[in-house]
Amino acid sequence: MGVQIGSVKEKTSYPKSVFGETLTEHSGITELMDDLGEALTIGRDRLRMMGGGNPSHIPEMQNLWRDRMAELVSGTPDEFDRVMADYDQPAGSPAFRDAIAGFLNQEYGWDLSRKNVAITNGGQTAFFFLLNRFAGRMPDGSSKKILLPIVPEYIGYGDQCVSGGEMFDARKPLIEFTRDHRFKYRIDFEHLNVGPEHGAIAVSRPTNPSSNLLTDHEIAELREIAEANGIPLIIDNAYGLPFPGVVFHNVVPVWDENIILTMSLSKLGLPGTRTGIVVAREVIIDEVRSMTAIVGLANNKVGQALARPIIESGQVKQLAEEVVRPYYQERSERALAIAHELLPPHIPWRVHESEGAFFLWFWFDGLPGGCRALYRKLKDAGVVVVPGQYFFFGLDTDDWEHAHQCVRVSFTQPEEVVRDGFRIFGEVLGGIYHEM
């Protein structure tokens, strides 16, 4: 007869490493993905999911990927077998990396080869590698931080430090009132204050959550500042140019040996393939390759195989310009019109200028109880958004009310979902401000 030692779950509390503490505590990105999963499964008929970053199922893109998969399976079965049954190189498929380098050289005149390109298990993993490469505890015992020259910034970066301590040093934006119910963030270069404690500068373009699109002038200034301080400028291009191209104003993509550019296939309609792309100087690519091998051996090959022909041919640019961007720009404009129609006119609301990505970023001045309370009331009423306070990491926001008055709202769901969501949104907000 065995000895009964009782419930391990009840009686044992295992000590956690710093790594364990960091990656298992509550985080905004975990809450977001839980909400997304709940909305898409058990809450499908109850919740209006207006918080996640899942791309829309654009018919033209869905048909393209179906055709490519059928071609891979039936037309080139030997390639299908290699994709599914063989490990890839840690840096990614040489043919896919050649395609990325060739396409970018053709479009922008950059001088790239496959040695400047690495593939990762999604853009999130690319940033996990890069942020921890340039920040955290250093071999000499000192610490470095990532400078965020403007927040709010992408929620998924916030809890990625594995060496303990604060990874980010963020700066408040300048807020410009642009027109009725609209505003825009700009970098406050006067108070950027780059120093030896910074290991890199990081931005996204366009920015998730606010849809803010850093201007060519702002990027040029950041390039000069980064180079002058001997640190890289990391640009997250998950929504940007040349693909997926969810950019509503004319800007110019940039790269040089001091820039690390990350890209992704997710917003082209392939988030399930988890295909991130890093474009950087060769030594950084070698480091990413090594990290991939250590953490996961190799990457998912399916996305690379599906997308390679449309990148080699340049068709991806046409798809971005003629299918993807117009689709999301029209969705953005419709969502803004619905918001103006259904949000109560007497409450003090503004929305950031919609310049790209999948989101509208709302600011409710004087919001009673803050954005977390609004999030809970909306979820109880059947609408999921993302409370804005999670996007201001690296900054002490205790005395800055703006950081607790914003929410991110996705417009990628069907219009009937967006309309119903804003109807509920308006009713809940009306009730909150009525109680003041």
Per-residue model confidence as pLDDT tens digits over 20-65: 776 666 555 566 556 555 545 544 566 888 877 789 999 999 999 9
Segment 188-192 mean pLDDT: 97
To the nearest whole number, what is the mean pLDDT of the chain?
A: 91
pLDDT at 224: 97
The Cα-based distances of 243 to 101, 274, 288, 363 in angstroms read: 14, 16, 22, 29
Q: What's the rounded mean pLDDT across residues 69-74?
A: 95
Helix ranges, 157-196 (H): none
Least confident residue range of 23-27, 64-68, 404-408: 23-27
Q: How many residues does the chain have?
A: 436
Cβ burial of 377 (10 Å; 0-12, 13-18, 19+) is middle
Distance CA 393, CA 398 (A): 12
Amino acid 31: pLDDT: 60
Q: What pLDDT was estimated at residue 27?
A: 58
392: exposed, middle or buried (C-beta count within 10 Å: 0-12, 13-18, 19+)? buried
Average pLDDT estimate for 240-262: 96
- Given this model, what pLDDT does residue 39 score? 47
Predicted pLDDT of residue 52: 75
What is the model's pLDDT at position 2? 53
Residue 387 CA to its chain's centroid (Å): 16
pLDDT over 90, % of the chain: 79
End-to-end CA distance of the chain: 66
**Lowest mean per-residue pLDDT among 45-49, 114-118, 305-309, 400-404:** 45-49
State the CB neighbour count (10 A cutoff) for residue 199.
20
Q: Is the pLDDT of residue 10 over 80?
A: no
Distance CA 392, CA 394 (A): 7
Output the pLDDT for position 11.
55
Give Cα 278 to chain centroid, integer Å: 14
Q: Determine the average pLDDT of the residues in 318-329.
A: 97
pLDDT of 9 above 60: no
pLDDT at residue 30, rounded to an integer: 64
Question: Given pLDDT bands bounded at 50, 70 and 90, which one contains residue 161?
Answer: confident
Q: How is the chain split among helix, strand and coil, in percent rounded to 5?
A: 45, 15, 40
Q: In this predicted model, which residue has the larger pLDDT, 258 or 31?
A: 258
Q: What is the mean pLDDT of residues 104-116?
A: 97
Show the domains of the chain with their CATH numbers: 8-60+319-434 (3.90.1150.10), 86-316 (3.40.640.10)
